[in-house]
């Protein structure tokens, strides 16, 4: 059943009105936090009702310059990973990356400015945000107790053997319509037509590969999140995933908060590059949110116009 795949998976596999692939892998971002650092600082653990104001306040309390300790770490190399961390905040604030027709950038909206202002406040004003300009230090600094929180995916959980961690969904913006959202990077199986004789065999293979029983076996064997909602809602599967790697079940449940995907346009790499550089310039204190986003939007529109 096509509707057994999560909505964002189906959207990522569709260009225009044409399905071009079948979901193969899904993930998402959530908060991973060091329980001991929270307890030592007297900060309550994150809850599903957290707002970004709560998150910011907690990060400030968890920051200790004398110890070289920060509340939160974010990739700050301007790559797609930087953009990945910003986009859920943009969506939660009520914004989007492109217009509905994918013709123009709209991330420089009021919502976009609000989201980037949050990062500016934490990086420049509070100095509670560790800017990882190499995008290589997240798990290492978490394990050493130098960072209290990461916004990351299930792939990092196995890299945190030295701490007692918890996992919680992303904060939301109080009063905004976006609620608690996250972002996923669905990968697809794509089958190319290699002749009529092999066409049906390929179809049969993909159906078998993505059938619920195979998805369940694959998830339990690899630790990857199940691509089918029916498997993700199976409490036996969730229990076993959590036994293997604590916190994985929260990421599975968080798939229900994946409401959108990044634009499926060929110019997206150019858009991401412009937006990533804008985000970093603001977090480094070199630019203001509105000006940086306006400049990035102009670059994105230029790329889109050249299609």
User: What are the DSSP calls for 244-267, one per residue?
Assistant: HSTTHHHHHHHGGG--------TT
95 with 153: CB under 8 angstroms?
Answer: no
For strands 147-152 and 70-75, give the pairing: parallel
What is residue 145's three-state secondary structure?
coil
Residue 127, domain member (yes or no): yes
Q: Which two tokens stand for residue 268?
A: 């997206």
Does position 152 have pLDDT exceeding 70, yes or no?
yes
- Average pLDDT taken over every residue of the chain: 95
Name the residue among 280, 270, 257 with its Cα closest to residue 86. 280
CA distances from residue 164 to 30, 57, 178, 239, 261 in whole angstroms, order as listed: 16, 22, 31, 18, 31
pLDDT tens-digit readout, 30-44: 999 999 999 999 999
Rounded-to-integer distance, Cα 227 and Cα 245, Å: 18
Residue 188, domain member (yes or no): no
Buried b (16+ CB within 10 A) or exposed e, 143-179: bebbbbbbbbbbeebeebeebebbbbbbbbbeebebe
pLDDT of residue 307: 64
Rounded-to-integer distance, Cα 265 and Cα 247, Å: 33
Of residues 139 and 187, the one with the higher pLDDT is 139
Range of the domain at 140: 30-183+261-305
User: Taking the CA atoms of the chain, what radius of gyration do you get in angstroms?
Assistant: 20
Residue 131, domain member (yes or no): yes
164 pLDDT band (50/70/90 cuts)?
very high
- Residue 24 makes CB contacts below 8 A (sequence gap 6+) with 186, 187, 188, 189, 210, 227
22 with 202: CB under 8 angstroms?
Answer: no
pLDDT of residue 47: 96
pLDDT tens-digit readout, 245-267: 999 999 999 999 999 999 989 99
Residue 227, domain member (yes or no): no
Mean pLDDT of 276-303: 99
16 pLDDT band (50/70/90 cuts)?
confident
Residue 233, domain member (yes or no): no
Rounded-to-integer distance, Cα 55 and Cα 248, Å: 22
Domain count of the chain?
Answer: 1
Question: How big is the CA angle at 168 (ends 144 and 46), to the nearest 5 degrees?
Answer: 80
Range in 112-121, 192-201, 207-216, 224-233 the model is least confident about: 192-201
225 with 237: CB under 8 angstroms?
Answer: no
For strands 30-34 and 22-25, give the pairing: unpaired
Adjacent-strand bridge partners of 187: 25
Q: What is the CATH number of the domain that holds 53?
A: 3.40.190.10
Does position 283 have pLDDT exceeding 70, yes or no?
yes
Residue 221, domain member (yes or no): no
Residue 60, domain member (yes or no): yes
For strands 165-168 and 30-34, give the pairing: antiparallel
Residue 88, domain member (yes or no): yes
186 pLDDT band (50/70/90 cuts)?
confident
pLDDT tens-digit readout, 100-151: 999 999 999 999 999 999 999 999 999 999 999 999 999 999 999 999 999 9
Mean pLDDT of 169-181: 94
pLDDT tens-digit readout, 64-77: 999 999 999 999 99
193 pLDDT band (50/70/90 cuts)?
confident
148 with 56: CB under 8 angstroms?
Answer: no
């Amino acid at each position: 059943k096509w509707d057994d795949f999560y909505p964002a998976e189906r959207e990522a596999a569709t260009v225009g009105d044409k399905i071009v692939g079948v979901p193969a892998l899904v993930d998402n971002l959530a908060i991973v936090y060091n329980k001991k650092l929270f307890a030592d600082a007297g900060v309550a653990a994150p809850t599903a009702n957290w707002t970004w104001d709560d998150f910011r306040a907690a990060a400030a309390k968890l920051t200790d310059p004398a110890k070289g300790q920060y509340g939160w770490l974010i990739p700050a190399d301007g790559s797609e990973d930087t953009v990945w961390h910003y986009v859920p905040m943009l969506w939660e604030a009520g914004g989007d990356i492109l217009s509905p027709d994918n013709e123009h950038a709209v991330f420089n909206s009021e919502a976009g400015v609000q989201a980037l202002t949050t990062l500016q406040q934490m990086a420049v004003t509070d100095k509670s945000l560790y800017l990882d300009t190499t995008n290589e230090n997240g798990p290492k600094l978490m394990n050493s107790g130098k960072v209290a929180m990461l916004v990351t995916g299930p792939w990092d959980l196995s890299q945190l053997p030295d701490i007692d961690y918890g996992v919680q969904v992303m904060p939301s913006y109080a009063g905004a319509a976006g609620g608690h959202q996250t972002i996923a990077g669905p990968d697809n199986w794509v089958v190319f037509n290699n002749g009529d004789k092999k066409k049906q065999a390929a179809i049969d293979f993909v159906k078998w590969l993505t059938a619920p029983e195979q998805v369940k076996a694959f998830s339990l064997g690899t630790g990857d999140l199940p691509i089918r909602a029916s498997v993700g809602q199976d409490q036996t599967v969730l229990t076993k995933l959590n036994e293997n790697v604590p916190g994985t079940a929260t990421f599975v449940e968080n798939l229900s908060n994946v409401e959108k995907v990044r634009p499926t346009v060929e110019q997206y790499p150019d858009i991401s590059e412009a937006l990533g550089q804008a985000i970093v310039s603001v977090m480094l204190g070199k630019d203001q949110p509105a000006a940086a986003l306006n400049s990035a939007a102009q670059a994105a529109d230029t790329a889109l116009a050249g299609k």
